[in-house]
Amino acid sequence: MKISLVCSVCGASFSANEPLWRCECGGLLDVVHHPEFPIDRIMSRPQNMWRYREAIPLPLDSEIVSFDEGHTPLLDMRHNGVSFLTKLDFLFPTGSFKDRGASVLVSKAKSIGISGVIEDSSGNAGASLAAYCARACIRCKIFVPHSTSESKLEQISAFGAQLVRVHGSREDTAVQALKEAEAAYYASHSWNPFFIHGTKTVAYEICEQLKWNAPSAVVVPVGNGTLLLGVFIGFQEMCRAGLIKSIPRLVGVRSASFAPVANAWHGENIVAQFPESTTVAEGIAVERPVRSDQILNALKSTNGWLCLVSDDEIREAMRYLACNGILVEPTGAVSVAGFVKDTPRLMKERQVVVILTGSGLKDMAKVSRLLK
């Protein structure tokens, strides 16, 4: 399996065995490899995300850090008479889809002999990384914004990670982590491209669950875009391999309070009407995602779009889900809020998959408050 890291700015290429998370020119790195999908072998393996082993960019003899995660349910639902499918991608060991990315990223770190990592997070990626590092016996230091839910902080600490609370925004937290990243392996889910090669397995699973067919649209929450980009790469790879005919339309959902990505999408100052940079959906409270250009490209090239939702719409989506027996945290309900808002457009689709990303059990106090 030939795997390299290629800079998205200057095109420089590096061995995947180097502990790099960014190019010397400062550019984002992407993983280049040749995924394969030997269907018979895949189907003969246990139902977890590692059954797509030949499509995950780690040498086949690598030791994998895993809890047998993945193969989350795909359920039929209806809202106001319109059918859609929900992927319950919060049913993971730490309660969020981030475990997909952490499993691949920590496996990668272990395979190149890394003994300690740092990461910044709004909470869930930090919890995932802390859990997988604990399993791999790798030291872990997580920077979080001061506003992160107490229960998520407790989760991170419980796994033995060192926690650093930063007074400031999600961006301020990243800046502080970046300073330390000069001297450590930066296991950042937004910078480090191996994370996305874990989140992409959700696209493989959706296709397998649809008998190796792609849906016509997929709705995902977008903060730093690791899920959206993973979904995009996953469908692209299956399309290139001839497993599916086309890539679904991707619809990204963001909080209306976080302007820059939305302004770039609409080409105007569309969110000036929402001056508050706060949202109940802490997982997507990201002002300027480092992969913004890639996010916009994924939406454009699939003929998808960006949907903006308010906190009230997110709360309404949480209530609808809870009434249907599904308890998610606010960020986990963002995609459903987007589906509800854009139903007039989405109901024209042949089949829509809406991805739910974070368990309500992560922060029951907040969830109960919002459901009232």
Q: Say if residues 197 and 104 touch (Cβ distance below 8 Å).
A: yes
Please tell me whether residue 354 adopts helix, strand or coil conformation.
strand
Residue 10 binds: one of Zn ion, ligand PLP, none (C-beta under 5 to 8 A by kind): Zn ion
331 binds ligand PLP (CB under 6 A): yes
Residue 236 binds: one of ligand PLP, Zn ion, none (C-beta under 5 to 8 A by kind): none
Burial class (CB in 10 A: 0-12, 13-18, 19+), 242: exposed
Phi-psi group of 262: left, alpha or beta (phi > 0 → left; psi -120 to 50 → alpha; rest → beta):
alpha
Note the maximum CA span of the chain.
55
- How does DSSP assign 121-146, residue by residue? -SSHHHHHHHHHHHHHT-EEEEEEET
Strand partners, 346: none
Instruction: Indicate which single residue of 227, 231, 247, 346 sits in contact with ligand PLP (rule: CB under 6 A).
Output: 227
> Which among 40-48, 111-119, 200-208, 324-332 is the span making contact with ligand PLP, rule CB under 6 A?
324-332
125 binds ligand PLP (CB under 6 A): yes
CA–CA distance, 257 with 347 (Å, rounded to integer): 26
Residue 227 binds: one of Zn ion, ligand PLP, none (C-beta under 5 to 8 A by kind): ligand PLP
Phi, psi of 75 (to 5 degrees): -115, 150
Give the residue with the Cβ less far from Zn ion, 190 or 359: 190
User: For residues 341-360, which are near ligand PLP according to CB under 6 A?
Assistant: 357-358
Closest contact distance (angstroms) between CB of 25 and Zn ion is: 3
- Taking Cα atoms as reference points, which of 23, 40, 2 lies closest to residue 208? 40
Residue 224 binds: one of Zn ion, ligand PLP, none (C-beta under 5 to 8 A by kind): ligand PLP
Give the residue with the Cβ less far from ligand PLP, 332 or 338: 332
Instruction: Indicate which single residue of 3, 5, 20, 23 sits in contact with Zn ion (rule: CB under 5 A).
Output: 23
Please tell me whether residue 253 adopts helix, strand or coil conformation.
strand
Give the residue with the Cβ less far from ligand PLP, 133 or 280: 280
Output the six-digit token pair for 329.
């945290």
> Which among 51-59, 68-76, 218-226, 306-314 is the span making contact with ligand PLP, rule CB under 6 A?
218-226
H/E segment holding residue 120: strand 116-120
7 binds Zn ion (CB under 5 A): yes
Give the residue with the Cβ less far from ligand PLP, 70 or 223: 223
338 binds ligand PLP (CB under 6 A): no
- Taking Cα atoms as reference points, which of 76, 9, 91, 50 lies closest to residue 356? 91
Residue numbers at the binding site for Zn ion (CB under 5 A): 7, 9-10, 12, 23, 25, 27
- Binding residues for ligand PLP, rule: CB under 6 A, are 96, 122, 124-125, 221-227, 283-284, 329, 331-332, 357-358
